[in-house]
Amino acid sequence: MPMLTINGRSMSVDAANDTPLLWAIREQLQMTGTKFGCGAGLCGACTVHVNGEAVRSCQTMVGDVAGKKITTIEGLSAKGDHPLQKAWVAEQVPQCGYCQSGQIMQAASLLAKNANPTKEEVVAHMDGNLCRCMTYSRIQKAIMRAATEMRTASAAGNERRPT
């Protein structure tokens, strides 16, 4: 049985190597925050991180990620308080919410590399993630808000600030 390193834990899954990672996560590991949307890499609802890169788990086979570091929405932060998750609440982004795990995971892979993206960079990075409720403008705002928080937090760690 393949072993997966997921959200910092090693777990064996009862699934063939050619099983999409999506279904192993959802059914074998019963972590249902990662969603099935299209099964073809066209909508982004199933986005997770593999070694820090955003990938579509419906197009990623279990056999290809053994030994790699997988992160799902459940493991993005310990208490659901990643700057993006806080920004998603602050901007009241979700409507139906179904695509939002994927949106947040996709956005997190951008901010991990670039905490000061332009609007154009955000759009280019997020354009593969469909939101049928069309919450796009709030998604953009929330990413910018989280980016600001991440820059402020890292600045706070590095610089002395007047008290």
Partner 1 sequence: MNQHVKNVTPETTDLSRRSFLVGTAATGLMLGYAGVPGIGEALAAAHANFEPSVWYAIAPDGLVTVTCGKADMGQHIASTMAQIVCEELGAKWSDMRVNLASNDPKFNDPVLGAQLTGGSWSTMMNFDAMSRAGAAGRMALTEGAAAAMGVPAAELVVRDSVISHPKSKKKMSFAEIVRSGKATKTFTPDELKAIKLKTPDQYTMIGVSVPQLDIPSKTNGTAKYGIDVMIPGMAYGAVVTPPVRYGATVKSVDDSDAKKVPGFIKAVTLDDKTQTTTGWVVAVANTYANAKKAAAALKVSYDGGPNAKVSSQSLLDEAKRLQKLDDSGQFFVKDGDPAAARGTAAKVLEAEYTTSINIHAPMEPMNATAEFKGDILHIYSGNQFATRSGAIAAGAAGIDPKFVVMHQMWLGGGFGRRLDADMMVPAVQAAKAVGKPVKVIYTRENDMTMDFSRPLTYQKVKAGVDGDGKLVALSHDVVSAWPTQRWGLPDFLTPSVDKKGPLDSLTVNGSDFFYTVPNHHVRAIKNEMAHNATPSGQLRSVAPGWTFWAVESMIDEIAVAAGKDPAQYRISLLDGAGKNDGGAQRLRNTLLAAMGLAGYGTKKLPKGEGMGVACVSSQERATASWTACVAHVAVAPSGEVSVKKLTVATDVGTQVHPDNIRAQVEGAALWGLSLAMYEKATLKDGGIEQTNFDGYTPLRMSQMPEVAVTVIANGEMATGVGEPAVTVVAPAIGNAIFNASGARVRALPITAEAVKGAMKA
Please report how close the Cβ of residue 69 comes to partner 1 at its closest, in angstroms: 18
50 is an interface residue for partner 1 by CB under 8 A: no
Please tell me the distance from the alpha carbon of residue 71 to that of residue 28, in angstroms, as a whole number: 16
Please report how close the Cβ of residue 163 comes to partner 1 at its closest, in angstroms: 31
106 phi/psi in degrees, rounded to 5:
-65, -45
Name the residue nearer to partner 1 (CB basis): 35 or 49: 35
E-strand ranges in the chain read 3-6, 9-12, 47-50, 53-56, 69-71
Of the residues 6, 29, 34, 117, which one makes contact with partner 1 according to CB under 8 A:
34
Please report how close the Cβ of residue 19 comes to partner 1 at its closest, in angstroms: 5
Please tell me the distance from the alpha carbon of residue 132 to that of residue 77, in angstroms, as a whole number: 26
Q: Which stretch binds partner 1 (CB under 8 A): 82-90, 109-117, 144-152, 153-161?
A: 82-90
Please tell me the distance from the alpha carbon of residue 152 to that of residue 19, in angstroms, as a whole number: 41
Q: Which stretch binds partner 1 (CB under 8 A): 11-19, 110-118, 146-154, 155-163?
A: 11-19
Task: Extract the tokens encoding 116.
Answer: 């000061």
Please tell me the distance from the alpha carbon of residue 83 to that of residue 91, in angstroms, as a whole number: 12
Element (H, E) at 105: helix 100-113
57 is an interface residue for partner 1 by CB under 8 A: no
36 is an interface residue for partner 1 by CB under 8 A: yes
Q: Which residues bind partner 1 (CB under 8 A)?
A: 15-16, 19-20, 23-24, 26-28, 30-40, 42-43, 45, 72-74, 80, 85, 88-89, 92-101, 104, 123-124, 126-127, 129-140
